[in-house]
A and B are shown apart, each in its own frame.
Chain A
Amino acid sequence: MFDDFFTRALIAGIGIAIVTGPLGCLVIWRRLSYFGDTLSHSALLGVTLAYAFSINISLSVFIISGVVALLLLSLQKRTKLAGDSLLGLLAHSSLAIGLVLIGFLSSIRFDLMGLLFGDILAVTFEDILIIWAGGLIILGILFYIWKSIFAATVNYDLAAAEGMKPDVSNVIFTLLLAGVIAISIKMIGALLITGLLLIPAATARSLSNNPTQMVLLSIVTGISSVVIGLFSSLEFNTASGPSIIVAALGLFILSLISFKRSGALQR
């Protein structure tokens, strides 16, 4: 059944959505959406390096995004530059370095559109293995540090005072974010990954009244977005990444309507 490119894309996409669900909730709760953007922009540099040295794309993206993430964490403590300026600086300079390097590698054929927006045809059996194995590792680690990272998200001081070691889990969480970008870049594309982290979680927010429910709902919404997006991508011959994000947006708008109806906004 893996012979069909569409089946491969579906299996890969569902695997990604399961991982982006819980991570996306944390990104929303911790107001890290721009942070996610920075990591995914730097992922392009990772892809270029992967081609230049012929190593695995996901591995190279993970290394570059991970380094950028750790750099950010340490710079945030050291410079007086505001957080968002720092993020912009790193996002755009690593994107620019990636694009400049692509220019130097003129001997290699590049599908730039595919890198930026994802390519449904590019998903191989090996990619599925990377997505599901990587995804399980990410989820396993996330499950292990969940209590600590969740407490730190609610309140850093409480978590620190009561022995939850928030600094350690912060670093691990950041690396997990780099990991999810690494496994999903081929499918969703560097520019749109943050969308798959944010939009299903935002949809889940208006429908849930406790954290566990929000995590589960954002997984379900993510999977639905992938399935709807991929089928319409096949139908209308559009790029897979944007189609998935548009589907996610559609579900978000639907959730807003039902949210308003239920009167939850009238507090």
Chain B
Amino acid sequence: MDKNNSLVKLENAGVYRSSKWLVRGISFEINKGQIVTLIGPNGSGKTTTAKMILNILDTDEGMATSNTSKMAYVPQKINIDWTMPLRVIDFMKITNNLNNTQITDSLTMTGVDKLLYNQIHSLSGGEFQRVLIARAIAKKPDLLVLDEPVQGVDFNGEIALYNLIKKISSTLNCGILLISHDMHFVMSTTDHVICLNGHICCSGNPSSVVKNPEYIKLFGEHNSETLSYYQHQHDHSHNNDGSVSN
């Protein structure tokens, strides 16, 4: 791929904490318009790797370089202290100066535009997750890092959000780094899969990764069949309140 398309790059990068390597020897890059997915068991260093990409963690070995400053992040866990009164509209603006149209547009995309003036503390887990995604895409970033973005979201919402992520990558032509346990989405949509377990076990396009013995060792035989997974298709869709729309 063209060199100018590279957004971020890790070269033999590693993070060392409390006398052990959390991850080590990680090398990959993310290009414009590309969806790269990190998969791996718990504690395999997926979030640590994402944080190196975002310059939240400094590398103790190797290098992390980025060619863009327009990065947006959907963290895995975020706790907002109750002592802070915060509405969705305030939260949307914490790192960007957005106008009201930009805010409502992106909230509409994730289906939570009605919550604009609600307190963050009153949102359900799934609603908050949608707000997090809306906030990240509102400023049209060059690189979007999503750490398990659909946790707590209901089944139909999950499909809609994954479709949205796909759409974002093509319309904004931004790079996406995704951490996900949803093998179906990973295998059907991702351009590049990286299988992590403290180091890179194997990587490549989805169809080659599932056949890799390292992958089968980590995830077991049954997961290689996810490509033939049965996908439930609705002939209608639901609004947020549960009513049916076509």
A residues touching B (Cβ–Cβ < 8 Å)? 28-29, 31, 147, 150-151, 153-155, 157-164, 205, 208-211, 213-214, 267
Contacts and interface: CB of A to CB of B under 8 A. Distances in A.
Given A151-B95, A211-B90, A267-B122, A157 B81 contact: no
Given A151-B95, A164-B95, A157 B83 contact: no
Contacts of B87: 209-210
Contacts of B90: 210-211
Contacts of A267: 121-122
Contact of B75 (A31, A150, A155, A208): A155
Given A31-B81, A151-B94, A210-B85, A158 B71 contact: no
Contacts of B95: 147, 151, 158-159, 162-164
A29 B83 contact: yes
Interface stretch (B50-58, B99-107, B225-233): B50-58
A210 B86 contact: yes
A202 B201 CA distance: 51
B244 interface: no
Contact of B84 (A153, A159, A164): A153
18 contacts: A31-B83, A150-B94, A151-B95, A154-B84, A155-B78, A155-B80, A157-B51, A157-B56, A158-B73, A158-B95, A162-B72, A162-B96, A163-B69, A163-B71, A163-B95, A205-B83, A205-B85, A208-B85
B85 A158 contact: no
A216 B14 CA distance: 45
Given A157-B75, A162-B71, A211 B122 contact: no
A162 B138 CA distance: 13
Interface of B: 51, 54-56, 69, 71-73, 75, 78, 80-81, 83-87, 90-91, 94-96, 119, 121-122, 145
Contact of A209 (B69, B75, B119, B145): B119
Contacts of A147: 94-95
Nearest to A202: B83
Contacts of A158: 73, 75, 78, 94-95
A252 to B, nearest CB: 14
9 nearest CB pairs, A to B:
A161-B73, A161-B54, A162-B95, A160-B56, A151-B94, A29-B84, A28-B83, A208-B85, A209-B85
A161 B56 contact: yes
Contacts of A164: 95
Given A29-B83, A154-B84, A211-B90, 6 more contacts: A28-B83, A29-B81, A154-B86, A155-B75, A160-B56, A267-B121
Contacts of B55: 160-161
